[in-house]
Every structure is written in C-alpha cells, then in structure tokens.
Copies of this chain bind each other. A is one copy, B any other.
Amino acid sequence: MTTGVAGGGPDGGGTRPHLAAITDRMTTRPARGGQHPTMDQVAEAAGVSRATVSRVINGAPSVDSKIREMVQRAIAETGYVPNVAARSLVTRRSNSVALVISEPDRPDNHSFLNRIFTDPYFGRITAGATGALRPHDIHLVVIPTDSTDHHQVIRYLRQGHVDGVLLISSHEQDTLPRQVHELGIPAVVSARPTSPIAVSFVDVDQRLGARLAADRLLSLGRTRLATISGPLDIPSGLDRLEGFRAHLADRPVPSVEGDFTRAGGETAARRLLAEHPDVDGLFVANDLMAEGALRALQELGRRVPDDIAVVGFDDSSAALDCRPLLTTVRQPVEEMAAEMAEVLMAHIATPGRLPRSVTFQPTLVVRESA
C-alpha cells in the first residue's frame, strides 16, 4: 500500500515510525486541580459519613432532605465524580452493554469494518439502541468483529466489562451467538439464530416483507417478476427470496444472488437482465443493492418504473439517494434495536428470565420506483 506518511512509513513492528513533522508546542501544563476527590472528602465537607454520601448519590429514600442538600452541595463544591471501578467492583455492574457487530470474513483485511461503517443499517441499529439505553444511563460499547477475533471479543465479555450483549449477527455459520450464549452473559440477538439456541432475539417478519414487495409489483400489473437476493447463507437473504417465491408460487421467478452491497447489486442486475431481458418487476433484497441495480438499469437504458418497477428492502437512507426515489419495504430498525435493548435490560435485571422473541411487522413505503 502506498502511503503518504511524512518522513516514511512504519519501519517494522514495535518501534514508532520516524516522522518528519513532529512539532513540540509550547504549553502550560493544565492545573489538574488536585486529582479526583474521593467520597470521604465529600463526606467530610458535608459533615456526614461516607455511607450517607453513598445513599444520596444512589437515591436511597431514607435520607433527610436537609442532609441530602448539604451532601449535594459538597459534591458540587468538591467536583466529586464516583469512581466506576470501585463501584462496579462491589455492585457487579458496569452500566454498559456491548453492541457486537459480527461480520463474516472478507478477503480484504479491513473491509468488514468498512462495510459496517458504510451500511446505513448499522447506524440505525446504533441510534435505536443508544436511544433506548440513554434514559437508563447505560453506555454502549460498539465492538465490530469478524471471526478472526471472536476470541478477543469473548475475552472482553468474560472480563466483566459489560453487563450484557446486543449481538448483531447475520451470517449463518457465525459461531459467536453460540459462544456468547455459553458464556452465560445476558444477550439478545438481532435475528432468529440459525441453530436452536435458547436466546432472546428480535426480528422482522422477512417473508411478509417479501410478500409486500410482490403484492406491490403485482398490483402495478407487472407479470414478469424477478429478484436480486441477498447472500443465501444469511437467513434474511434466504427468507426474503423464499417469501417472494412462495407468494408467486404459480409462476417462475428468476433470481440472482447478491451480496448486500451497492456494487454487488449493480453486477447482479446486469446479469439478471442479460439472462432475462423481459423482466418488468424487480424485487431487490436490500436498498443498497437496489441503488446499484438502478444505476445498472439506467445504463442499460431501462426506464424505472415505466419499463421495470423496482422495490427495495430496508427503507434505509440509501433509498433516498436513489433516482428515482426507491419504493421499499421498511423495517423499523431503530425500534427493533430499541426493543433489543429493552429486552436485554430485562434480562440483566432478572437473571433467570426465560428467553423470548419479538417479531416486528414490515410496511411498504411507496415512492417513485414502483
């Protein structure tokens, strides 16, 4: 890889790269006001015992309101902030949960990170989860991973950094859900696990979504339907394909397998139209691929929706990047992520709780492409 590192790149492992443009700048060392005050100091300042300060901080009901006020003033004056390590040592709670995003290996070293941070889906998940967790004052630690560092992730979880796990895993052979489950740590998975694990999960009715797409295309009078599916080793990919086909059982439905990326959608559309030039209705298993497919259709001179109607899946921001605007099946990703967080918090609060699954219904969002 060619890089533009000033003064040369890293010269092997271990040592820091030599850099030409290091500038020491003048500075006055920040005052660092006497380290962090401890609870004892607050107690002394307020003239009470440490236990009382603790009660005030944790909102115990049985503290006289005058005393409570004094303590709060002392906290403000000293600038006291509880030490999380000490607290979680005794409470056995970290007040944070992990959002583990597990992607299958890809040839390129960092591409899984690239995919995670490029697909709007994950942003929606994060937004939904943080939104649900924030009122409970629980922090989210985002951990992207592929199978090469499952071990690291497991170790992280075992070390007690987090109270529970939200696990986003779509790949069929992914062993992480099982490993996490065996850890015994509270966890919620983002989709029905491929093997029967007794774990809570939240999912969308994939087949119903595919059916909504089929119905839309049929209602537009389209008769020669086809689909670009997701990877068939991912349950959601398979379910959407099967749902689409099942609802059109009386006719043949050509399909091409895609990879849920923009470029993959473009390629797949080209292949599909080469083999089946008369297609007039197309269901694409996610919006990103639909965006690529639309580009291919345009380059092939097909008008959308006149010549060929296109329905996507997700209702992600990519649907709005499309021209024409993409008609798509909406999954309420934010709400699903929020529900995952709620279920997880219930599991954390009640350790013995039986796993449960929650299924959300998709809806059709009609725009221009179909």
Tell me which residues across on chain B come within 8 A of A36, comparing CB atoms.
160
Tell me, rounded to whole Å, the shortest Cβ–Cβ distance linking A350 to chain B: 13
A335-369: which residues lie under 8 A (CB-CB) from chain B? 335, 339, 342, 346, 352, 354-363
Number of copies: 2
A63-109: which residues lie under 8 A (CB-CB) from chain B? 81-86, 88-89, 94, 96
A249 within 8 A of B: no
Task: Determine whether the beta carbon of B358 is less than 8 Å from that of A159.
Answer: no
Quick one: closest B residue to A137, CB to CB? B152
Tell me which residues across on chain B come within 8 A of A83, comparing CB atoms.
89, 159-160
Quick one: closest B residue to A141, CB to CB? B141
- Bound together, the chains give a CA A169 to CA B275 distance in angstroms of 49
Contact residue among B321, B352, B363 (Cβ-Cβ distance under 8 Å from A2): B363
Tell me, rounded to whole Å, the shortest Cβ–Cβ distance linking A332 to chain B: 4
Task: Determine whether the beta carbon of B363 is less than 8 Å from that of A4.
Answer: yes
Tell me which residues across on chain B come within 8 A of A142, comparing CB atoms.
141-142
- Bound together, the chains give a CA A143 to CA B363 distance in angstroms of 31
Quick one: closest B residue to A361, CB to CB? B4
Task: Determine whether the beta carbon of A27 is less than 8 Å from that of B161.
Answer: no
A160-190: which residues lie under 8 A (CB-CB) from chain B? 160-161, 181-182, 184
- Bound together, the chains give a CA A150 to CA B158 distance in angstroms of 30
**Interface bracket on A:** 35 or more
Tell me which residues across on chain B come within 8 A of A31, comparing CB atoms.
184
Which positions in A face B, CB cutoff 8 Å?
2-6, 9-10, 16-17, 19, 21-32, 36, 81-86, 88-89, 94, 96, 110, 113-120, 122-124, 126-127, 130-131, 134, 139, 141-144, 149, 152, 155-156, 158-161, 181-182, 184, 198, 204-205, 262-263, 295, 317, 320-321, 323, 330-332, 334-335, 339, 342, 346, 352, 354-363
Tell me which residues across on chain B come within 8 A of A204, comparing CB atoms.
4
Tell me which residues across on chain B come within 8 A of A89, comparing CB atoms.
83, 85-86, 89
Could you jot down 12 A-B contacts, CB within 8 Å?
A: A2-B330, A5-B335, A6-B205, A25-B198, A27-B355, A83-B160, A110-B127, A110-B334, A114-B127, A116-B123, A117-B124, A139-B143
Given contacts A6-B359, A120-B117, A339-B17, contact A161 B198 (CB under 8 A): no
- Bound together, the chains give a CA A9 to CA B339 distance in angstroms of 11
Tell me which residues across on chain B come within 8 A of A181, comparing CB atoms.
30
